[in-house]
Amino acid sequence: MAKRDSTLVYSTDSGRIKEEKEAPSRPKGDGIVRIRRETSGRKGKGVTTVSGIDLDDAALKLLTAELKKKCGTGGSVKDGVIEIQGDNRDLIKGLLEAKGFTVKLAGG
């Protein structure tokens, strides 16, 4: 038999190690909601991203659902950024301004 390097696979010394993961914290915005149109990494498909909204996760999901209904498209929330399919910047800007947010169109 060939000699193998000893690599520890299992040990009973420390028992179960359970790390508590805390929710990733999103950076606080400056109070301005930025709306951009992105196509990078999406095979040329345009997506409108809305960032800088300072809401908790539950309220952000409700706002996303409302924006998806008004735009008539799909979308999702990823890391605190709302993604709505298609180029709906002007419609989303009007809806968010009616809700009292300060909105800027960012990018080209």
Question: Percent of the chain beyond pLDDT 70?
Answer: 72
Full strand arrangement of the beta sheet holding 102-105? 75-78, 81-85, 47-51, 32-38, 102-105
Residue 36 CB coordination number (10 Å): 16
At residue 46, the pLDDT reads 87
At residue 11, the pLDDT reads 63
- Mean residue pLDDT of the chain comes to 81
Q: Domains along the chain? A: 32-105 (3.30.780.10)
Per-residue pLDDT tens for 57-81?
888 999 999 999 998 999 999 888 9
Mutual angle of helices 57-71 and 89-98, in 10-degree steps: 130
Closest CA to 85 of 102, 94, 97, 72: 72
Structure letter (DSSP) for residue 29 = -
pTM over 0.75: no
* Mean pLDDT on 92-108: 88
At residue 54, the pLDDT reads 86
Question: Percent of the chain beyond pLDDT 90?
Answer: 33
* Mean pLDDT on 22-39: 74
At residue 62, the pLDDT reads 93
Q: Which whole-number Å values give the CA distances from 35 to 61, 85, 105, in the listed order?
A: 17, 13, 5
Closest CA to 77 of 96, 54, 57: 57
